[in-house]
């Protein structure tokens, strides 16, 4: 597929007429051309971690606001609706998100209920995680908030992680304050990201251990100033 338009080159700060070739869903070539298409082609932001439900909007309505700020895709954990409706809630989010061009990449919520102390509307056990991960519309195992379960080899937690590995899908992390041997064990379990770093030292240690650190600057917490030096 070829797309023509006025390409906005952010890196070199210029706009030029060009053609983009897309093969197998990925850009394979960008070249200048002499056409006069008026539409602009420019890169967009990917929100690396979000719970759409926190906006009190369904995905299709969330998209209308997000795209105005340059966001064209999200990595979305439907944890909140899953705690009410279970897998049906996850499937609803996927279906609603397909109504708009914005690309939603949903994960399988790993902690439903979030803790055993909660009275949730649903439970997603390891077999439920397997059923979700089998779907091509589920891209990863969403944030493993039960980090004590990882550290103490909880059988149910480890089975959920094992299913993600079985389907070759990444495991998103949630590890506030974990350092030293605890961080090593958490990462060694196959968990690849963390958005819960509050200090430069903690984030640097996790990076050195091979983890990807997401700098969070949102309504729930603001860590940009502490971590931008990374």
Which residue from 32, 37, 102 is spatially nearest to 67, judged by alpha carbons? 102
CB neighbours of 185 closer than 8 A, spacing ≥ 6? 150, 151
What mean pLDDT, rounded, does the chain reach?
Answer: 95
Question: How far is 110 from 117, CA to CA, in rounded Å?
Answer: 16
Grade residue 117 by pLDDT with cuts at 50, 70 and 90.
Answer: confident
The answer to whether the beta carbons of residues 60 and 183 sit under 8 Å apart is no
Q: What is this structure's pTM?
A: 0.89
Mean pLDDT of 165-182: 97
Q: Answer whether residue 184 shows pLDDT above 90.
A: yes
For domain 44-174, the CATH architecture is: Alpha-Beta Barrel (3.20)
Distance from the Cα of residue 56 to its chain's centroid = 19
Q: Which residue has the higher pLDDT, 67 or 219?
A: 67
Question: 128: helix, coil or strand?
Answer: helix
**Domain span(s) for CATH 3.20.20.140 in the chain:** 44-174
Question: 187: helix, coil or strand?
Answer: helix
């Amino acid at each position: 597929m070829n797309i023509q338009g006025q390409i906005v080159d952010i890196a070199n700060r210029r706009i030029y007429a060009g053609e983009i070739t897309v093969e197998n869903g990925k850009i394979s070539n960008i070249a200048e051309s002499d056409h006069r298409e008026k539409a602009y082609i420019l890169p967009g932001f990917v929100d690396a971690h979000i719970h759409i439900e926190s906006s009190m909007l369904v995905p299709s309505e969330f998209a209308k606001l997000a795209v105005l700020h340059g966001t064209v895709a999200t990595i979305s954990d439907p944890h909140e609706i899953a705690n009410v409706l279970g897998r049906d809630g996850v499937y609803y989010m996927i279906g609603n998100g397909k109504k708009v061009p914005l690309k939603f990449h949903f994960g399988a919520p790993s902690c439903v209920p979030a803790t055993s102390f909660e009275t949730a509307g649903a439970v997603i056990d390891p077999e439920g995680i397997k059923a979700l991960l089998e779907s091509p519309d589920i891209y990863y195992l969403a944030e493993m908030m039960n980090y004590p379960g990882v550290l103490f080899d909880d059988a149910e937690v480890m089975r959920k992680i094992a299913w993600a590995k079985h389907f070759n899908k990444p495991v998103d992390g949630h590890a506030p304050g974990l350092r030293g041997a605890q961080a090593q064990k958490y990462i060694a379990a196959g968990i690849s990201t963390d958005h819960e770093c509050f200090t430069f030292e903690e984030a640097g240690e996790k990076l050195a251990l091979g983890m990807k650190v997401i700098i969070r600057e949102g309504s729930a917490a603001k860590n940009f100033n502490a971590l931008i030096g990374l």
